[in-house]
Amino acid sequence: MGFFDRWAGRPIKLTDGAFWRGFFGLGTTSGETVNYDTALALDAVWACVNLIANSVKTLPCLVYGADGVTLAKGTDLYDLLHDMPNMDDTAPDFWSMAAICLCLDGNFFAEKKMIGDRLVALNPLHPLCVDVCRNSRNERYYEFTEDGKKRRISEKNMFHVRGAILPGCDRGLSPIGVVRNTLGNAMAAEKTAGKMFAGGMQAAGILSSDQILKPEQRKQLGEVLGQFAGSERAGKIAVLEAGLKYQQLTVNPQDAQMLETRQFSVEQICRIFGVPPVMIGHAANGTTTWGSGIEQLILQFTKTCLTPMLRSIEAAARRDLMTAAERKTTSVKFSLEGLLRGDSAARAEFLSKMVGAGIYTVDEARSYEDKAKIEGGNQSIVNGTMQPLAKVGEAKPANLNVTAPKPAAA
């Protein structure tokens, strides 16, 4: 279903912000129009959003019981968040959509489907089709537009995750809208570069002559010079007659620092999404940090980009998907250990330390590697040299029952 299909047959008002945002986009100082489609057409935006979405996709969403340790497997909430939120989407697909919506719109909406008091599905909604409203009693509700029809959804039936938000606002700030001028500048640079390539890398200029040309001569001259326009004809030589002289008007790409401008735009976009440039394949000044500082960059990406987003999702799940009683006995948390699946050495070191410290049992560690349980693997073990801090320095008691060995006979 396209964007226009969702609004077909519905009178559009000036106050319908969702429609105008999606149809016209947002104006910028560069003259470019920024909306979700045009923003994603920038390779840096797509790379950042895709990286974040794929990273979230790899992290399992776990539901824990009252002790905060035991997984609440078999419960409806665990099945929805960990396995399949609805009949159309798997959990990785669902959380990937959540990340994309938060990156672009700053909001993620999913309608709760109930059978009695039982939550049976979470159906994601396009953020441009959802308006957050308040009634006369200041109660929040949502208006969803589909196939030209508007439908009201109560707050208790909506799962709403917000990104950055200001006090008094019901809707999260759209990153694309806030930084539209930066994206507009990047789009303008891309368009300028494209036109230069389409024109065969030829800068605009004028032809001058000391003679007055007739209209027919002007038309003929335009047709002749048009044969040398375009990237396919770049490098061909145009012969100017009748004393015609060519004078360049615009600066060339090197003088305009076009390459530097486009590189700087990539770095600006990476700052917007909190992604280290090298993680999307952008190496400043032709250098790269792969093999040297990439571990610290991944750690920075996890701490400053992924963790805040995941924390917002976890808090929204606690608020919208649990009853007051369930909040006391149930918790939701994404497992960041999912990022280790592609690093065998880091995963082995992590599991070894967790088992050696008595945090994981052997069976729990083996489950990460899809290995079967073993006898005695359900017990915690620790390094034998470890002892309680209060016991450090105490002498070991002598064993009075041990008899000293007799000296060997001469």
d(CA 289, CA 295): 10
Please list the pLDDT of the chain residue by residue as tens digits (410 residues): 444 455 455 554 444 555 545 544 555 666 677 788 888 888 889 999 999 999 999 999 999 988 877 888 889 999 999 999 999 999 999 999 999 999 999 999 999 999 998 999 999 999 999 999 999 999 999 999 988 889 999 999 999 999 999 998 899 998 888 888 888 777 777 676 666 555 554 555 555 556 666 677 666 666 655 544 544 444 454 555 555 565 554 555 554 455 566 677 788 888 889 898 888 877 665 555 555 566 677 788 888 899 999 999 999 999 999 999 999 999 999 988 767 666 677 677 777 878 777 777 877 777 766 677 888 777 777 766 655 656 656 666 655 555 556 666 65
Is residue 399 domain-resident? no
d(CA 174, CA 204): 38
CA 221, 224, 227, 228 dihedral sign is negative
Q: Which residue among 223, 249, 275 closes a domain?
A: 249
If asked whether residues 99 and 213 sit together in one domain, one would say no
First and final C-alpha spacing in the chain: 100
If asked whether residues 224 and 87 sit together in one domain, one would say no
If asked whether residues 279 and 218 sit together in one domain, one would say no
If asked whether residues 235 and 166 sit together in one domain, one would say no
If asked whether residues 109 and 243 sit together in one domain, one would say no
Read off the tokens for 179: 């930084």
d(CA 194, CA 188): 10
Domain count, the chain: 3
If asked whether residues 310 and 335 sit together in one domain, one would say yes
If asked whether residues 188 and 278 sit together in one domain, one would say yes
360 is in which domain, residue-wise? 343-390
Q: Which among 371, 178, 364 is positioned nearest to 273, based on CA atoms?
A: 178
If asked whether residues 129 and 106 sit together in one domain, one would say yes
Contact between 278 and 290 (Cβ < 8 Å)? yes
Residue 61 backbone phi and psi in degrees, to 5? -95, 115
Q: Which among 200, 218, 196 is positioned nearest to 209, based on CA atoms?
A: 218
If asked whether residues 264 and 348 sit together in one domain, one would say no
- Length of the chain, in residues: 410
If asked whether residues 92 and 23 sit together in one domain, one would say yes
If asked whether residues 350 and 212 sit together in one domain, one would say no
If asked whether residues 32 and 92 sit together in one domain, one would say yes
Is residue 374 domain-resident? yes
